[in-house]
């Protein structure tokens, strides 16, 4: 049976939550493979709004197994609060419906404190983090000083892990003017939390491989967007994990051969939150109109998103990096009513044309977009569920996007509602 990876192909906020939820109806397992609770997915189902940050989007569907993989960094206190909130909306969450990889690193309160202190004192160039400790938690992971889910099961191991972490953190905190960590208080909080987290702990790598051999369908859910990838994004204004499709394998414990289809989620225009380069950003009434029509405020932080025209150069680049087989084009309805639309087809850099975003930060800053104009449409596309429901110019716009990014549209989303989706190519087709 086909297994599908879903990744954001821009700077995040492309509408992955709805698409993952829509696809999860046909999946048996839905697995998060990177990121933390800095990412937010909003699902709208029969008028009910679910806001998820740490939980996989599949939790709102009964009979599915949701997995938090080892590639994620997990704030256990946030997770318990999120589970309580979702349960209050009538969703059942048990160890039979949710598993957490035993080797998942934990986000501790000290990570958030460090994150916020650094950002507050950074007078050179703020990264624009959410301040939730995701970056410092990943630093501890690669520095081999993480507290992981499995460590909660043994007091001696837990204390050893905390002591190792504090050797590093207390030195950092002194330099930032923060008080030393209260070791005993932190350990006491972790021990109190353990009975709430450990029932969900499991050898996820084994569960994933067993279910794959049994022929079950797996949906791998990415967070954020490919342009925030720690290696291939607009560094240093990036997240602290690999966001592209290859991380789905290492972030859950399956081999790359388990991936059959990569679906890239692409907004019909471009947005980003926080700092960093944005070649097609619009600082005028058009950009404001896109933001208002698209309700462009972050699910996690509430921060206003920066908006601009569709950048085909960037999406063509991310399609190549993730080996994307098809895209899900979202928020086409936001473009309704524009007399003229623009698409970025290349950049001009120091008098020459280039067809990719360069790596060097100074080159990124100097790259200016080359636009192609297309006529817009006055009719509404909101809620369209077939090609016949779309205006001719909207179809032309979609086809031109396909040509420019070198990848076909597999799904087309025309509203936040689950069923307002046009299926072109089934990612789960064998």
Strands 326-330, 261-267: pairing is parallel
Using a 10 angstrom Cβ sphere, with 0-12 exposed, 13-18 middle and 19 or more buried, the burial of residue 366 is: middle
Q: Decide: 310 and 282 in contact? Cβ < 8 Å.
A: no
Query: Is-catalytic flag, 13?
Result: yes
Give phi and psi for 135, each to the nearest 5.
Answer: -60, -55
**CB 275, CB 126: distance < 8 Å:** yes
Place of tokens 């490919």: 226
By DSSP bridging, strand 48-52 and strand 41-45 are antiparallel
Alpha-carbon distance of 161 to 170, in angstroms, equals 14
Contact, 141 vs 73, CB < 8 A? yes
Q: Which of 28, 37, 41, 229 is catalytic?
A: 41
Are the CB atoms for 334 and 302 separated by under 8 Å?
Answer: no
Beta-carbon contacts of 253 under 8 Å, excluding residues fewer than 6 positions away, are: 69, 70, 101, 204, 205, 206, 208, 209
Contacting residues for 94 by C-beta, under 8 A, at least 6 apart: none
Beta strand 368-375 with 41-45 is unpaired
Which one from 13, 28, 229, 311 is the annotated catalytic residue?
13
41 flagged as catalytic: yes
Q: Which tokens go with 30?
A: 């839905």
Q: Does an H or E element contain 68, and which?
A: strand 65-68
Q: Which residues are catalytic?
A: 13, 41
């Amino acid at each position: 049976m086909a297994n599908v990876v879903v990744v954001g192909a821009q700077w995040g906020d492309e509408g992955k939550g709805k698409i993952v939820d829509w696809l999860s109806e046909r999946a048996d397992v839905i697995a998060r493979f990177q990121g933390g609770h800095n990412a937010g997915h909003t699902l709208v189902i029969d008028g009910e709004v679910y806001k998820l940050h740490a939980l996989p989007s599949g939790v709102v569907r009964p009979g599915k197994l949701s997995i938090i993989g080892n590639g994620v960094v997990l704030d256990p206190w946030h997770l318990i609060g999120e589970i309580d909130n979702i349960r209050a909306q009538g969703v059942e969450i048990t160890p039979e419906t949710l598993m957490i990889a035993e080797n998942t690193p934990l986000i501790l309160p000290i990570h958030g404190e460090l994150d916020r202190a650094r950002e507050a004192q950074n007078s050179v160039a703020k990264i624009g983090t959410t301040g939730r400790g995701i970056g410092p938690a990943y630093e501890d992971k690669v520095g081999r000083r993480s507290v992981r889910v499995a460590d909660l099961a043994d007091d001696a191991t837990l204390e050893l892990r905390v002591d190792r972490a504090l050797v590093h953190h207390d030195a950092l905190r002194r330099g930032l003017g923060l008080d030393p960590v209260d070791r005993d208080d932190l350990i006491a909080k972790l021990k109190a939390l353990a009975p709430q987290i450990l029932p969900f702990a499991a050898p996820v790598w084994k569960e994933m491989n067993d279910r794959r051999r049994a022929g079950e369908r797996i949906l791998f859910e990415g967070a954020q967007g490919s342009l925030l990838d720690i290696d291939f994004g607009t560094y240093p204004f990036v997240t602290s994990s690999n966001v592209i499709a290859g991380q789905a394998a290492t972030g859950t414990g399956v081999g790359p051969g388990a991936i059959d289809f990569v679906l890239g989620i692409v907004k019909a225009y471009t947005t980003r939150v926080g700092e960093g380069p944005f070649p097609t950003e619009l600082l005028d009434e058009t950009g404001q109109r896109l933001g208002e029509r698209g309700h462009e405020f972050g699910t996690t932080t509430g921060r206003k998103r920066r908006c601009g025209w569709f950048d085909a150069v960037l999406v063509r680049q991310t399609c190549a990096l993730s080996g994307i087989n098809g895209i899900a084009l979202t928020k086409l309805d936001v473009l309704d009513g524009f007399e003229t639309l623009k698409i970025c087809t290349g950049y001009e850099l120091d008098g020459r044309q280039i067809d990719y975003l360069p790596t060097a930060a100074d080159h990124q800053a100097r790259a200016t977009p080359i636009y192609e104009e297309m006529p817009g449409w006055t009719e509404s596309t909101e809620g369209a569920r077939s090609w016949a429901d779309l205006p001719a110019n909207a179809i032309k716009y979609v086809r031109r996007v396909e040509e420019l990014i070198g990848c076909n549209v597999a799904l087309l989303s025309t509203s936040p509602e689950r069923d307002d989706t046009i299926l072109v190519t089934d990612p789960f087709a064998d």
